[in-house]
Structure 1
Amino acid sequence: MSDHADRKDETTGPLVVEGVDEEPIEGNRRLFEGRMYVAVTFAAALYAAFHMAALNGLSIESMTGGAVDLPFLPSFPMETWNFRIVHIAGALALGFVLFAGTRFTDDEGRARPALGWLAWLLLLPALFSLGAALSFAVEIANGKMWNGMDAGIRFDEIWLFGVPLMVATVGGILLSWVHRRPRAALNPADIVLAFCGVAVAAYLVTIYGTLMRNSTGTPFAPIGISIAAVAGTLLIMELTRRVAGLALVVISVIFLIYVFTGQYLPGFLNSPAISWQRFFSQVYTDAGILGPTTAVSSTYIILFIIFAAFLQASKVGDYFVNFAFAVAGRARGGPAKVAIFASGLMGMINGTSAGNVVATGSLTIPLMKKVGYHKKTAGAIEAAASTGGQILPPIMGAGAFIMAEITGIPYTEIAVAAIIPALLYFTAIYFMVDFEAAKLGMRGMREDELPKFSQMAKQVFLFIPIVILIYALFQGYSVIRAGTLATAAAAVVSWLTPYRMGLRAISRAFHLAGIMSIQIIAVCACAGIIVGVISLTGVGARFSNLLLGLAAASQLLALVFAMLIAILLGMGMPTTAAYAVAASVVAPGLVELGIPMLTAHFFVFYFAVVSAITPPVALASYAAAGVSGANAMETSVASFKIGIAAFIVPFMFFYNSALLMQADWLEVTRACATAVFGVFLLSSGVQGWFIGARAVWFLRAALVVTALMMIEGSLATDVIGLAAAAAILFVQRVLKPREGATIRVRGAD
């Protein structure tokens, strides 16, 4: 029944969930020992704590009481671009140290010592480029004018900085692919890459600290910016490959190829010729890598990763799942309903569909199989619920913050607008799960198998961090201040439990946050490359024109096309990156159609999210299949079926903006009630179970059509839908058609 505890306990019953929110250990993550473990743990904790300090505006003077002069350290908060550059560089350095570029070997003899020596030699050009960047900083500090047109400066940047950096970067990446080391040992090639990341940051902080940032994309831009950006792009893509797989990297490569081949393509894909120097001098700015995706990862995302780490260290995450079992475990198919609640809540906080599937699914999937769900269905339920966490306010897996950053719409407005769509999604999953359990005659878990609700109720104070977060956000506190208060609350409430957070536990929480943040930071930076291509080539605007052309024939056709593109762009990508890319390509076109910005971005966001459960490339479903032991494609098809409402909901709020709270309360209430009834009918039609009995094929079809009538949103269609639902119920209960009889009639016809 997984690695989680299942034991007798006098106070909470036999099932005691422990470690449900523990981060899974990736197959290529190094597990250090001894001094190396201490050093890496300290570095990861310092990296996360640095962000917490910087985001809350602490200064070095306040941290030292003004007694210590530290002129070599920046004061907090740092200048925005520099902060983002350091944010990415820290993740690169930590990521290359922690995550290997190839498989491990336990046989020291197979480590190929010759390759190791070659990797150590590459450390020389890496350090040389870093030294050159620092020497540039000294020259600029001494008043030297730095201009990309100066021949001497150009020579120094190419031969003292650029060439050594590229040799070390390309060589380090290639060697990291072929030089295998034991799991507890560092690969010298990865040390080289870590220093290359630091060298890129040192140079960019130096140059962007002058007026050179205004010259990007012009002949006055120092060529070192372009070379540093090329190296930085390669490092980001390599780290993304290690922590998130090839999908996003392949898409990034295709977009980069497009930059230099777009001038030869026909139609709306044609783009103006762009030199490599001009493009790369701009892509490592706020037009690309340092743009909205990194802006969010360096602030809101890492803040809530720290919050999630504190919840984990204080065991509040375990309590969430125990509470869910106590509340819903006795219902038919109980573990599946627990998965909906627990996985949705945890997915909302940690922001990763696939990661949440592995963490909570290792408990819920075996229990679902135990009560009678097929293994593919058990995996599909977990995948759909974990994916739904990305659309669940107030955190929405950081999606709400990215949307606020891109659109300029206040975060609170986005969080409020997300309430009804999220309700519809989880209600639909609940109905799908319940009807499946009813068809199979399942039971819930016995009372003696579950935590005692009375004991769980006594610990309801463990929800305080979430309550404080929501209250602070809607009281007008900044997201950073609200997240910080909630994080502190998680530490405080732990003192009311056996898992009190002292200095050691707080350090461990920051260490966990530092490691947990690496994947999302790499993914956001890599998505920034794609956003930069879209921005600098103008392909987004041309895509908007294509949508306008389709809308002239049919607005619904344009929406379906936008849906397919958003899902296609999101396939194989983490939610954050999927939305960032889709928002750059698809959303502007929808806005051009006259769709309100909030509606357009929610439309794109939902389909970017559900790409995680959409065949053929469904990351969350594949992760669930790995836990359940089912076929990956069968699980993805089943999760698509269970999450079918997510593919309908965006069209619902397009046709009825009241579902996004964009109307008076009477209209919002009516729209919500009829939409909930609509997803009930939709779930009944898909599952073939309607009010206590199986539904024959033609009633199932009628239920789906009736559901769409309820979903459309107008008063007339609601009345027609209610009448149709009453007629279906009459046929079901009074005429009682049977599937076999229906088939005979069809044969007679």
Structure 2
Amino acid sequence: MSAATEVEKGLATGVDAEIVTSNQRVFTGSFGMIFAALCVAYTGFHVGVMNLYPLETWTYRLIHVGGGLSIGYLLYSAQVFYDPDRAGGARLTPPQLALLIPAAGLVAYALAAMAVLWVATGGQNQMGGPTPPAWTVQTFGLPLIGGIVLALAAGWFFPNRLRDQLDLADVVLAVASIVVTLYIIFHAPILRLRAGTALAQPGDMYAAIAGVILILELTRRLAGLALVIIAGIFVLYAFVGPYLPGILEHRGYSLERFFTYIYTDQGILGPTTAISSTYIILFITFAAFLQASRVGEYFVNFAFAAAGGTRGGPAKVAVFASGLMGMINGTSAGNVVSTGSLTIPLMKKVGYKPQTAASVEAAASSGGQILPPIMGAGAFIMAEITGIAYTDIVIAAIIPAILYFASVYFMVDKEALKKGMKGLPREELPEFRQLAKKVFLFIPIIILIGALFSGYSVIRAGTLSMAAAAAVSWLTPYRMGPKEILYAFEIAAKMSLQLVAVCAAAGIIVGVIALTGVGTRFSSMLLGLAGQSQLLALFFAMLVSIILGMGMPTTAAYAVAASVIAPGLIRMGIDPLTAHFFIFYYAVMSAITPPVALAAYAGAAIAQSDPMKTSVESFKIGLAAFVVPFMFFYSAPMLMQGTWLEIIHVFLTALLGIFLMASAVQGWFFGLIGPILRVVLLIAALAMIAGGWLSDIIGLGTAALIFGIQRKVITPKTAARGLD
């Protein structure tokens, strides 16, 4: 059988298929083609600006956010579609019309005002240039906000339930997004000077308020209520600060000053949007190229061929494949849905309980975001925030990532040992020898790593990797021609919308923190509570990172936590790289931390298991990630900081410690062990993880003692020999 046929018939068929969420529209016919063209233009704009025609920073970020909002509202409904296959005509009811007609009229007026503004001035807003008609900036704001509120009400209470049709309310919101973008782009040169000051104009405030409302609503549709509620609390805090006690008190801000400040590069257009408009969308596009060329299927089939036949094989495949795919696509829950739809049923087939299958997939998918070199865009976010070189961050991430995935592997292997599980029959698996002939499909990843470490910029390296993905596809049955490249651009736009909205919403929180100074005060409180104990400070930092990350994608969770916590840790003398890595790990692991564990919940939905039990078990399987950050705090060589002898020593002993920890958690060392020996073995594991020679000797000795007891080499009789 040929390699091509083997890949086509592999278990992973369909892994690269586009995922349609419960509130996502699916357009067909001529409008489907028009919408696809909009998505292609959105992605093409970013790739073109990053590589060919640099654009002024504010303008670029505003188009990034505004374009994402417009496409997002056209694609995602305010409510879920209960009947996914229902199609046909829809009649507008009188209550809908009562909301939609004035909403459309008000937003149309605001759009007309912006059109006159741009035409009358030729798009030039410079000192001494043409003066726009005063009414265009003085009267557009209230109609814009009124139209948005009415359209939101229409979408919430009277949504169009037909998946293949546009909702007129969402068309109004999409147009409103364009109005906000046009106003702020036009005034950007002046807003740099007057935003957030007493010079801010009412029109600036109205545009910013409209933008914030649109961002939060799209975030609700794409990422749920958690981030919206948190952002809303921060916005409220900006106005109630004068009435709060202690470190939370501040002088308060007017509506003009607050909202105009939020919509600048200190807030929504700040670091989070800088990341989403460059690195995130670049690597999402790279992932889309891999998906369009069906390289993702090859990765998963390769993992099945390598590990599918071993005991508990599908679980081990999930560890490898989900880690690799999660590294690229940057969303834990999204990766669970894509690869978990394949691996979870197969894990159940070989004997894993439904909740165990879902938790393994959730832990592996979340771990993909700590896996170099892409780390779900985490490495680039950290580099942007800290100023530390990207290559230094990636190198530092190697050992912790290996330890995490080794731990998950040991967990599933010992579960399989306990239950006496087998792997999948060899005849059901792809043939490794045939798949090995297509190992060249890893070339895009290799080129990415090689280009980054050769000194190329991240943007250039990502673009080269996209080109490589298209090129190697010509050696497979799934060649990427113009049609496939355009399809990759289309799905890249759709895949990026959630992170565009989430990063903009996180920017609101970051802006509030910067404006009120609450981050600095919180850091001072952290220092006060912890006293001089760095360990206690790190414990508080862990709790805050996990709480902030509950229900939030990693990008937003890390950006917010880094703004609030990192300054305090660094002031206590903790190395900046260690502090940020520490926060980043717990932001990632919040996706599998009860009670709000998005990745575990996504897995539970596929496995038909109890969500809370699944989240508890995913926490258990990913336990190493909750220990590893303390490991690299106490042992710098864990982050590749030290001599090679120190690094090798720490890595090997920590790896053994991780093995002992998995054995203790699963109750299987070299056979079943009871509760008392499990506790002793866990102590031995923690001693090995600590990284010192004395603790290593204690850990090794304890592990050897338990091994001897298991093998009955050490018994009460032999232990007592010689006492008489």
Q: TM-score, normalised by structure 1?
A: 0.91
Quick check: 1:255 aligned with 2:234?
Answer: yes
Quick check: 1:29 aligned with 2:24?
Answer: yes
Give the direction of change, closer, same or farther, for the CA distance of 1:144–1:566 in structure 2 (3 Å limit).
Answer: closer
Write the distance in 2 (CA, Å) between the matches of 1:550 and 1:117. 56
Quick check: 1:18 aligned with 2:13?
Answer: yes
1:326 corresponds to which residue?
305
2:54 corresponds to which residue?
77
Q: Give the secondary-structure state (helix, strand or coil) at the position aligned to 2:423.
A: coil
What pairs with 1:116-195 in structure 2 (closer than 5 Å)? 116=97, 118-138=99-119, 156=135, 159-181=138-160, 182-195=162-175
Quick check: 1:589 aligned with 2:584?
Answer: no
1:687 corresponds to which residue?
666
Write the distance in 2 (CA, Å) between the matches of 1:144 and 1:409. 37
1:44 corresponds to which residue?
39
Task: State the shift of 1:140 in Å.
Answer: 5.3
Give the direction of change, closer, same or farther, for the CA distance of 1:337–1:142 in structure 2 (3 Å limit).
Answer: closer
Give the direction of change, closer, same or farther, for the CA distance of 1:123–1:160 in structure 2 (3 Å limit).
Answer: same
Task: Give the letter aligned to residue 27 of structure 2.
Answer: F
1:716 corresponds to which residue?
694
Contact 1:28 1:102 in 2 (8 A): yes
Give the direction of change, closer, same or farther, for the CA distance of 1:145–1:378 in structure 2 (3 Å limit).
Answer: closer
Q: Give the secondary-structure state (helix, strand or coil) at the position aligned to 1:31.
A: coil
Write the distance in 1 (CA, Å) between the matches of 2:167 and 2:284. 28
Quick check: 1:706 aligned with 2:701?
Answer: no
Task: State the shift of 1:581 in Å.
Answer: 1.0
Quick check: 1:519 aligned with 2:498?
Answer: yes
Give the direction of change, closer, same or farther, for the CA distance of 1:121–1:329 in structure 2 (3 Å limit).
Answer: same
Q: Give the secondary-structure state (helix, strand or coil) at the position aligned to 1:734.
A: coil
Contact 2:310 2:422 in 1 (8 A): yes
Write the distance in 2 (CA, Å) between the matches of 1:549 and 1:308. 45
Write the distance in 1 (CA, Å) between the matches of 2:9 and 2:481. 29
Quick check: 1:89 aligned with 2:66?
Answer: yes
1:678 corresponds to which residue?
657
Task: Give the letter aligned to residue 73 of structure 2.
Answer: F
Deviations 1:293-322 (A, max 9, x none): 100000010011111111011010000000
Contact 1:133 1:206 in 2 (8 A): no
Write the distance in 2 (CA, Å) between the matches of 1:12 and 1:254. 50
Q: Please say which of residues 162-171 and 194-203 is displaced more in the overlay.
A: 162-171
Quick check: 1:456 aligned with 2:456?
Answer: no
RMSD: 2.1
Write the distance in 1 (CA, Å) between the matches of 2:514 and 2:198. 20
For structure 1, list consecutive stretches of 5 or more residues without a partner in the other structure.
1-7, 59-75, 739-749
Write the distance in 2 (CA, Å) between the matches of 1:143 and 1:697. 74
Task: State the shift of 1:118 in Å.
Answer: 3.5
Quick check: 1:505 aligned with 2:459?
Answer: no
Deviations 1:418-476 (A, max 9, x none): 10110110000000010000000111122112100110100000000000001001101
Write the distance in 2 (CA, Å) between the matches of 1:173 and 1:143. 33
1:657 corresponds to which residue?
636
Q: Please say which of residues 511-520 and 728-737 is displaced more in the overlay.
A: 728-737
Contact 1:283 1:289 in 2 (8 A): yes
Write the distance in 1 (CA, Å) between the matches of 2:362 and 2:112. 48
Write the distance in 1 (CA, Å) between the matches of 2:133 and 2:629. 52
Pick one of 48, 51, 70 that aligns with 1:53: 48
Deviations 1:217-267 (A, max 9, x none): 112222222211110000000001111111111111111111111221111
Contact 1:31 1:184 in 2 (8 A): yes
What pairs with 1:166-315 in structure 2 (closer than 5 Å)? 166-181=145-160, 182-208=162-188, 210-315=189-294
Write the distance in 1 (CA, Å) between the matches of 2:154 and 2:607. 36
Write the distance in 1 (CA, Å) between the matches of 2:166 and 2:123. 39
Contact 2:279 2:459 in 1 (8 A): yes
Contact 1:12 1:452 in 2 (8 A): no
Task: State the shift of 1:551 in Å.
Answer: 2.4
Give the direction of change, closer, same or farther, for the CA distance of 1:293–1:221 in structure 2 (3 Å limit).
Answer: same
Q: Give the secondary-structure state (helix, strand or coil) at the position aligned to 1:617.
A: coil
Pick one of 569, 573, 577 that aligns with 2:556: 577
Contact 1:322 1:451 in 2 (8 A): yes
Task: Give the letter aligned to residue 398 of structure 1.
Answer: A
Write the distance in 2 (CA, Å) between the matches of 1:196 and 1:219. 26
What pairs with 1:525-536 in structure 2 (closer than 5 Å)? 525-536=504-515
Task: State the shift of 1:358 in Å.
Answer: 0.7
Q: Give the secondary-structure state (helix, strand or coil) at the position aligned to 1:690.
A: coil
Write the distance in 2 (CA, Å) between the matches of 1:10 and 1:221. 64
Contact 1:48 1:511 in 2 (8 A): yes
Give the direction of change, closer, same or farther, for the CA distance of 1:129–1:477 in structure 2 (3 Å limit).
Answer: same
Give the direction of change, closer, same or farther, for the CA distance of 1:342–1:168 in structure 2 (3 Å limit).
Answer: same
Q: Please say which of residues 645-654 and 723-732 is displaced more in the overlay.
A: 723-732
Q: TM-score, normalised by structure 2?
A: 0.94
2:721 corresponds to which residue?
none
Write the distance in 1 (CA, Å) between the matches of 2:18 and 2:638. 35
Q: Please say which of residues 707-716 and 91-100 is displaced more in the overlay.
A: 707-716
Write the distance in 1 (CA, Å) between the matches of 2:179 and 2:273. 19
1:3 corresponds to which residue?
none
Write the distance in 2 (CA, Å) between the matches of 1:583 and 1:201. 28
1:316 corresponds to which residue?
295
Deviations 1:665-697 (A, max 9, x none): 111111111111111111111111112x01111
Task: State the shift of 1:114 in Å.
Answer: 4.3
Task: State the shift of 1:715 in Å.
Answer: 2.1
Write the distance in 2 (CA, Å) between the matches of 1:646 and 1:419. 13
Quick check: 1:384 aligned with 2:363?
Answer: yes
Matched residue count: 707
Task: State the shift of 1:130 in Å.
Answer: 2.4
Write the distance in 1 (CA, Å) between the matches of 2:133 and 2:547. 42
Contact 1:352 1:574 in 2 (8 A): yes
Task: Give the letter aligned to residue 675 of structure 2.
Answer: W
1:100 corresponds to which residue?
77
Q: Please say which of residues 384-393 and 129-138 is displaced more in the overlay.
A: 129-138
Give the direction of change, closer, same or farther, for the CA distance of 1:644–1:737 in structure 2 (3 Å limit).
Answer: farther
Task: Give the letter aligned to residue 46 of structure 1.
Answer: A
Contact 1:337 1:433 in 2 (8 A): yes
Task: State the shift of 1:664 in Å.
Answer: 1.6
For structure 2, list consecutive stretches of 5 or more residues without a partner in the other structure.
717-724
1:697 corresponds to which residue?
675
Contact 1:169 1:231 in 2 (8 A): yes
Give the direction of change, closer, same or farther, for the CA distance of 1:144–1:715 in structure 2 (3 Å limit).
Answer: closer
Contact 1:93 1:195 in 2 (8 A): yes
Task: State the shift of 1:555 in Å.
Answer: 2.5
1:471 corresponds to which residue?
450
Contact 2:102 2:147 in 1 (8 A): no
2:342 corresponds to which residue?
363
Give the direction of change, closer, same or farther, for the CA distance of 1:567–1:154 in structure 2 (3 Å limit).
Answer: farther
Give the direction of change, closer, same or farther, for the CA distance of 1:14–1:214 in structure 2 (3 Å limit).
Answer: closer
